[in-house]
Every structure is written in C-alpha cells, then in structure tokens.
Structure 1
Amino acid sequence: MQQTKGLALEVRLSAYIDGELGEAERSELDALLARDDDARVLLDKLKAGSTFGNRAFEDFLHDPVPLALVRHIKQGGGISPKLERVTTSNLPKRSVRVLPRLVAASVGLLLTGGVAGFILGSTANFVEPTGETAASPFVNEIADYHRIYSRQKAHLVEVPASQAAHIETWLTASVGVPFKIPDLTRKGLAFEGARLLVANGKPVAQLVYRDQEDEIFAICFLRSADGAKADAFSETIQGDLGLVSWQKDNAAFVVIGPSSAAGLQDLAHTVTGVM
C-alpha cells in the first residue's frame, strides 16, 4: 500500500481513486472529503479527467520530433539534457499515473474559474511556427515539381545517369546554361539522372541525386539576366522541403532536399563551386 501523508492532496486523492492506500489513510481522506467541499470537487475532477488526461499524455509522448531539432541533431549538436524526451520508463510509477489526472484537473479548474473564453480564443488564433518564408515564384514551382517527381519509383528521371554526356549536351542546349554534372559522392549523394522542367515560363534543368537513406535531392537551374552578380544564398523551408537558392553569372540555381537534411547550404556552396 502507498504512503502519501505529507504529499500534495492531488497525489493523495489519486492514490485514493486507485485503491492504493492503507485503511487508516483511506479513513482519514474519507473524513476530509465528508467535511471539505473543495476536496470533493477536486476528487470529482480527478475522476472525470482520468480518460481525458491519459489520452492527452499519450498523444504528447508520441508527438513527432520537430524538424528544427532533427536538423540540429544531424548537424552534430546532439540532444540537450533539457530537451530529452519524457517517457514513461524514466518517470516514477506514481508520477506516470498522477500526471494525466493533474493535467485534466488543471484544465477543468481553469475552465470553471471563468477563463474558458481566453483559452479557447488563444488556441483558435495560435499558429505553430513552420519555418516557412516567402520565396520567388521560380523557387515555389521547383518545390511543387520536386514533391511530385521525388515520389516516382520507375520514372524518377527523364534521362538516366548512364547517359551523363548526353544530359550535359541536351540541358545546356535546352536551358542555355553551360555546366558539368557535379560529382557529389563525397557528400553522400549518388547521381540518378536528369529532367527538363518549366518554371517562370522558362526551361529549367533538374539534376537528381539520392542519398544513402533513399532521400531525393536535386539541383535546378535556369538562364536569368546575363552578367548578373552572384548573390547571397537564401534558404527557405516549405513543409517537408528545404530549398537554397542563389544567383551566379547568367543563371539562377536552387538546391532542394528534405527540410530535415543537415548541410543544405554547404551543399549549395559545393555546387556553385563546380558548376
């Protein structure tokens, strides 16, 4: 049997609900509940909140890891002790069983306290940050293409990597941007082949790569204003995709891959150095 004397009333009542108290302590709480209206209200809320609280707590434990944290880990930052995930295996048994009830009871007490309108209004207007930023129409169109083609199995590319020489001749003539296919094996990327796209009303070359985790990356470029100066790398996140765009000479470039991938800007620096 549990010994809860000296602990918070919520903890004692939770053990009371679970039938885990000795006869003397249970009798003590029976007497308290008989004379204390607030204790009875708290007991009712703990009982009513068990199902709701357990479901909410279970959902919390299974929430996906934020993309920003995934990227931080892949870049070698590791997991800070303060960000360590809470699991039922590293919580005391009593805490695991009490916490859902406390969450539910707290919500109930807040609502009965007259702040329901504030909470519901704040929730309705809350938008979780996504890391998305405004991008040019060209970049947005490239993202749309990538979402479709990266899911293709048998038709991932239009021309396979085995025809590399033809790809360089074909896309140089079609797009008007001379280039050599970058060898990115040191970056863990294998060249799969190429496609010809259309964005912003212009032909766009797309060079497709695959990493060891079967994720698809691409280098896209099109002809832009002749003699344009190289500009800074601009990174945007659109849902599950990360894109780094820049301008060099007479071409606009975009490197695209999973938004959780570390080192997209580093990859873009490598690409612009060899193309």
Structure 2
Amino acid sequence: MTGERPIGEDDLQALVDGRLSSSRRDAVKAYLADHPETAEQVEREIEHREALRTRLAFKAQEPIPSRLRITNLVAARRRSPLVRPATFAAALAWLTIGGILGAWGGVWWTSRAYMQAAALTVADNAIAAHRIYVGERLHPVEVPADQEAHLVQWLSRRVGKQLIAPNLNAQGYRLIGGRLLPDSGEAAAQFMYENVGGNRLTLYARSGGNEAQTSFRFEEQDGVSAFSWIDKGLSYVVSAKADRAQLLPIAEAIYKQFEATSDPAKGRL
C-alpha cells in the first residue's frame, strides 16, 4: 500500500502472536492474499502456537501460591533484607511463563522459515533439472533402466542415503534410468520415468533435509508441477507436466515405497 512500510517478518510474527495492531492488519491480510505460500506458513505457525498454549494451559490456570503473591513478597522483603533464592526463582518462573510462549514462537518461526527456504531451493533445482533433461531424446539419462541395480547402488553411495527406484508401473510410468546431479554442494539423484504417451516424470532426491519429516508441498512453475517433501534426512521432489490431482497419487506411491524399504516390519521391495 502506498506510503506504508513493506510487510516484514515482524508483522508476520505479530500476527502469529496475536498482537498485530489494527492499523497493520488490513495490509498484512492483503499481503497474505497475494502470497498464498506465506499465508499457508503463517497458518501453520498459528496452529503450532495454539498447540503450545494448550500444552501449557494447565500451568497458567493453576492458582498463584500465596507465598508468591506480590503483597506477601513485599511483606517478606520488609521483614528480611534477603529474599531466599528458591522463593525468588519460583516467582521468576511464574512471571516469565508468558514470555516463554513469545520466545518459543520467535525461535520456531525463524527455524521454520530457514527450513522452508531450503526446501524451496531443492524444489527449484529439481524443477530446473527436470526441464533440462526430460527433453533429451538421445541422452536423457546416464545409466539406463536395464542397469537398475547398478544405478541405485551408485546413486545411493553418492547421495549418502539408501535409495530405490520406485516402481510406478501401476501409475502408468516405467523407469528409463537416472543420473547424478549437483545441488548446492551436495550430490542429488534423478530418476526418470516415461508413460506410453511419451510424457516424462522425474524423481529428485538429495540428502540434507533439516527436518525428520514434512508434509507434501505442491507448486507449479510454467506448466511443470511438483510435489516436494522431506523424510528421514532426504529431500524428495517429483516433477511432471501434470495437474495436482494427477501428480498427488504418484507422489504418495513414491512415499509409501520409500517408507516400506526403511521399515523392517514392512520388508524390502
């Protein structure tokens, strides 16, 4: 809005904390309406904050012990020039419980923002690699599908995590091979698939995810759709020229197959 300062992290954190001024509320809401990804992140932060409030609600509802009430503390101080350390610590704990929520929210927001930025970088790199190689007719892959065992072993060793080449026959795609790619100083694996119509799909995987697990994140860039997620230290991105409804079951199938290989109770594929 003309004449107003740009929307910043302080505004978004204030919205999450429930302390955004009314004069900024309309501007922030307009900003979020134009930035749906940020709006989704803000909504998640609000949910996390409310969950934290719920966990600590029992403490906030407890009555303040009489010995910690201000009048009694003042009276005790008048009787003795020294306040016992234990009493002072207890009073401080009660006074700072509200501050814990605000501090936790700020730390959570910062760490989540950093991880979101990292996830976006991996997804952007995966989509860029998809664009480059799906159009190749002579050399779309380094190692063809008839050497799948070697391909998986090679890429797993270079990425540093056990990989598989998911079987997507049920989704109408067959593996045609894969290749090794660089990604921000890390090794990344790309598996390529093709359906009977000649449309190609790629699965991109690299180590370095900062979270144990994240939910699916969808984005679309100039006709290429992608679902990305993090699971057990690996970042995954599946990309194709397909709409969200078509790509989601494929992403879910890939996720389930990787889960099955990492869970001994489910066995290996």
TM-score by length of 2: 0.50
CA distance in 1, matches of 2:176, 2:226: 19
Select 1:239's aligned residue among 219, 222, 242: 222
Indicate the RMSD between aligned Cα atoms, in angstroms: 2.2
* 2:152 aligned residue (168, 185, 188): 168
Change (3 A) 1:262 1:214: farther
Which structure is larger by alpha-carbon Rg, 1 or 2? Answer: 1
Kindly indicate whether structure 1 or structure 2 has the higher relative contact order, using CA contacts under 8 Å at least 6 residues apart: 1
- Unaligned runs of at least 5 residues, structure 2: 1-33, 39-116, 259-269
SS at structure 2 position matched to 1:136: helix
Structure 1 stretches lacking a partner, 5+ long:
1-128
1:140 maps to which of 111, 120, 124 = 124
Q: Distance in 2 between matches of 1:161 and 1:234?
A: 28
Q: CA 1:218/1:132 → structure 2, altered by over 3 Å: closer, same or farther?
A: farther
Distance 2:231 2:131 in 1: 25
More helix by share: 2
Pairing partner for 2:188 from 176, 182, 204: 204
In structure 2, relative to structure 1, the CA distance for the partners of 1:151 and 1:261 (3 Å cut) is farther
Q: How high is the sequence identity, in percent, across the aligned residues?
A: 28
Superposed displacement of residue 261, structure 1: 6.7
> Pairwise mapping of residues 120-199 of structure 1 onto structure 2 (< 5 A)?
136-199=120-183
Runs of 4+ in 1 over 6 A off after TM superposition: 131-135
- Structure 2 SS opposite 1:205: strand
Give the letter aligned to residue 234 of structure 1.
R
- 1:111-153 Cα distance to aligned partner (Å, 9 max, x none): xxxxxxxxxxxxxxxxxx9x99997111111111111111000
Secondary structure of the residue that 2:208 maps to in structure 1?
A: strand
CA contact (8 A) 2:209 2:231 kept: no
Give the C-alpha shift of residue 225 in structure 1: 4.2
Are 1:223 and 2:207 matched, yes or no?
yes
| In 1: Cα distance, 2:37 partner to 2:219 partner | 6
1:264 lines up with 2:247 in the alignment: yes
Q: Distance in 2 between matches of 1:262 and 1:191?
A: 21
User: Which letter maps to 2:162?
Assistant: P
TM normalised by structure 1 equals: 0.49
1:225–1:239 CA distance, 2 compared to 1 (3 A): closer
- 1:267 shift after superposition: 0.9
